[in-house]
Amino acid sequence: MKPTSRVSKHPQRKFLTVLSSLLVVFLLHPLTAKVRTGTITAPGSMTPVTYSFISYPSLQNNYTFSGTVTTDGVIGPLSATDVIAWTWTISNGVNSDTESGTNLDAAALVGLSASATELLVDGNIGEVVFQGPPNTYLQYGAVLNSYNAAILGGIRAWSATTTNASLGGDPWVIAQVTAPITYTFISCLALIRLRGHLPEGGYDGQNGIKEDWATRTATIHG
């Protein structure tokens, strides 16, 4: 007689396996860590957050664009000093420039804000400039209906005419947090376990990969 699957005998094992996997994902996720430690609402204990710039190729005149912005962890409207580090690289294969800084110019900062996952610029009145040396800059000029970049002391990389929703909607989405691959892997493992647990010898859940019953029978009755 074909032996009964161990999952059907011990359904609590399946439940505990799934629960433990999901708990790992919850505890390791960066946003969970911020909520757990109070860094979102307690300025004195905030942890810096790094966002990756978003490239909008259709507006960038065949230039590639990448980089990061690091804030002090404030969620909501940002001041010039809430940005503690930034770097960008703009290139078309012939002309290339990388610039970086440790804050922003308060005189050219209107409507910049942060969520736990995105950096945003007000699509109507916003303006943010990541200024390098003279005549070298990355400008989000929603108030001017423009998105501009100049490199190497004056080479205009792009000058795009914009609307209030040109960069990902209104407000503009200029950068976002990229989740580590580790969390994706753990999440996938949790989903796999929803279809069966991982006993010794492989899956034996009713919806998982079935074991070789001839081998199992030989082991049980041998």
* pLDDT (0 to 100) of residue 183: 43
136 lies in the same domain as 169: yes
- The domain in which residue 137 lies consists of 49-176
Q: Does any domain span residue 150?
A: yes
* pLDDT (0 to 100) of residue 142: 97
155 lies in the same domain as 200: no
Q: Does any domain span residue 42?
A: no
Outline where DSSP puts E strands in the chain. 49-53, 64-71, 76-77, 83-91, 96-101, 109-110, 112-114, 118-121, 127-131, 137-141, 146-151, 155-161, 172-176
What is the pTM assigned to this prediction?
0.64
219 lies in the same domain as 143: no
Q: How many domains does the chain have?
A: 2
Q: Which residues of the chain fall short of a pLDDT of 50?
A: 5, 7-8, 32-43, 181-186, 188, 203-220
Q: Does any domain span residue 187?
A: yes
